[in-house]
Amino acid sequence: MECVFGLVGNDFAVVAADTSAVHSILVHKSNEDKIMILDSHKLVAASGESGDRVQFTEYIQKNVALYQFRNGIPLTTAAAANFTRGELATALRKNPYSVNILLAGYDKETGPSLYYIDYIATLHKVDKGAFGYGSYFSLAMMDRHYHSGMTVEEAIDLVDKCIAEIRSRLVVAPPNFVIKIVDKDGAREYAWRESVKDAAVASA
């Protein structure tokens, strides 16, 4: 029931993900951050098997950092997306990762971009994308309200509309979401949308 979605605005890209860590019927925690800051201007929103998700995205993050150390310049978003796809494709027929990824980035030369990479390594550059059961609702909402060149306010409003739709129409809807944004000033957390706060741990 993991929900991940994202869209591209006029000079930024925004991604949102639910924050529940679930195993079978148990919710381990509801503040799990599934959007990793890959480097200064890239975000990776990942959904899928939680072990694979963390291991694979960290592997990509460290390799992207290694490239920057070795070559002195950061990878472009397209290059990072193609690298990620390559790793998923190589592992596909040996030891596949069950991770779906939305990679959002901002490059000075080409502006914002969003890449859809599913768990069998299908890569496609998109304006709006989503994974999981929530995608049925968020994609429909974005198909209706999205237009190219949206401002941050319009985009966040659309993200909130998608979250509202998921909350009201998905049977086991995740209660909390995190929204992260990437633009010329870098990748950063934008907001949380919480409807259930984790209880504070009682002191021993």
Partner 1 sequence: MSIFEYNGSALVAMVGKNCFAIASDRRLGVQLQTIATDFQRISKIHDRLFLGLSGLATDAQTLYQRLVFRHKLYQLREERDMKPETFANLVSAILYEKRFGPYFCQPVIAGLGDEDKPFICTMDSIGAKELAKDFVVAGTASESLYGACESMFKEDMEPEELFETVSQALLSSVDRDCLSGWGGHVYVVTPTEVKERILKGRMD
> Is the CB of 137 or the CB of 176 nearer to partner 1?
137
Are the beta carbons of 101 and 84 closer than 8 angstroms?
Answer: yes
CB of 92 to partner 1, least distance (A): 7
> Is the CB of 126 or the CB of 191 nearer to partner 1?
126
Spatial distance between the Cα atoms of 142 and 159, rounded to a whole number of angstroms: 8
Are the beta carbons of 114 and 65 closer than 8 angstroms?
Answer: no
CB of 102 to partner 1, least distance (A): 11
Q: Is the Cα torsion angle 16, 17, 19, 25 positive or negative in sign? A: positive
Amino acid present at 148: S
Positions touching partner 1 (CB under 8 A) are 85, 89, 92-93, 116, 118, 120-124, 126, 129, 135-136, 139
> Is the CB of 28 or the CB of 124 nearer to partner 1?
124
| Main-chain dihedrals φ then ψ at residue 69, nearest 5 degrees | -65, -45
CB of 121 to partner 1, least distance (A): 4
> Is the CB of 118 or the CB of 194 nearer to partner 1?
118
Helical residues (DSSP H) of 101-197, grouped into ranges? 135-145, 152-169
CB of 46 to partner 1, least distance (A): 17
Of 168, 180, 125, the C-alpha closest to 12 is 180
CB of 122 to partner 1, least distance (A): 4
Of 204, 197, 186, the C-alpha closest to 43 is 186
> Is the CB of 105 or the CB of 129 nearer to partner 1?
129
Spatial distance between the Cα atoms of 156 and 166, rounded to a whole number of angstroms: 15
